[in-house]
Amino acid sequence: NAGVMQNPRHLVRRRGQEARLRCSPMKGHSHVYWYRQLPEEGLKFMVYLQKENIIDESGMPKERFSAEFPKEGPSILRIQQVVRGDSAAYFCASSPVKGNNSPLHFGNGTRLTVT
Amino acid sequence: DAKTTQPTSMDCAEGRAANLPCNHSTISGNEYVYWYRQIHSQGPQYIIHGLKNNETNEMASLIITEDRKSSTLILPHATLRDTAVYYCIVTRGGGADGLTFGKGTHLIIQP
């Protein structure tokens, strides 16, 4: 039973390039969450999606960042025109339903380095 | 979601029980207590959660005080692989909302 799969595991981009991070949730999970962890800091919530819908993007920076979770395929976190401050670990989590008894299952993250 | 307070770091000898405290004095009646941990360079791992009763699973036990203002996560026989940052999170939306991770407790298991 595969867990949450994130790829790539490591991603290096030059300033100004685009970064695309992919997340395949656990089988049967229709809720996806993205978190960012800056070096030596805690995890910060970015966005919560269900299939084809963004439910809560209150943690997303207003510019350059976008997320989608299409009907088919993985969830994508897209960062346009990356800057050095975007260097961080990006974690995806999934759950089957929304509710009090529904823990999140996390992937092992994508480590983005902007040079 | 209610705020939690945890010690910054703790040590525990290998093979002994590790008891990690968490204060959540402003918890409300419909909020759950969740515990996650993050081993270095990995994603957070769900451990256990509870509402008011004590809970146990294959990883740990969760003891919640009667007034629900604090809880303790117990790892019964700590191993070196249990060295990690442990996060106590209180959430009304349950595990499936945007969890707010604080700084957690860095538990170091000593050989």
SS3 call for B82? helix
B104 at A interface, C-beta within 8 A: yes
pLDDT tens-digit series, residues B59-92: 999 999 999 999 999 999 999 999 999 999 988 7
Q: Do B95 and A103 touch (CB under 8 A)?
A: yes
Q: Do B98 and A106 touch (CB under 8 A)?
A: no
**Cα distances (Å, whole numbers) of residue B69 to A89, B28, B34, B52, B93:** 33, 9, 14, 10, 18
Q: Give the pLDDT confidence score for residue B4 in this predicted structure.
A: 93
Shortest alpha-carbon distance between residue A56 and chain B (Å)? 8
Q: Give the pLDDT confidence score for residue A65 in this predicted structure.
A: 98
State the residue for tokens 């307070």.
B5
Residue B50, number of CB atoms within 10 A of its CB: 18
Shortest alpha-carbon distance between residue B59 and chain A (Å)? 15
Q: Which of A4, A10, A43 should we substitute to test contact with B (largest number of B Cβ atoms within 10 Å)?
A: A43
Residues from chain A contacting residue B98 (CB–CB below 8 Å): 33, 45, 48, 56, 58-59
Residue of B nearest to A34 (CA): B98
Q: What distance in Å separates the CA atoms of residue A105 and residue A29, rounded to the nearest whole number? A: 10
A97 at B interface, C-beta within 8 A: yes
Q: Are B85 and B102 in contact (CB under 8 A)?
A: no
Q: Do B95 and A33 touch (CB under 8 A)?
A: no
Residues from chain B contacting residue A40 (CB–CB below 8 Å): none
Whether B93 has a pLDDT exceeding 70, the answer reads no
State the residue for tokens 């538990």.
B107
pLDDT tens-digit series, residues A55-93: 889 899 999 999 999 988 999 999 999 999 999 999 999
Shortest alpha-carbon distance between residue B91 and chain A (Å)? 8
Whether B57 has a pLDDT exceeding 70, the answer reads yes
Q: Give the pLDDT confidence score for residue B95 in this predicted structure.
A: 46
A100 at B interface, C-beta within 8 A: yes
Tell me the pLDDT of chain B averaged across its residues.
91
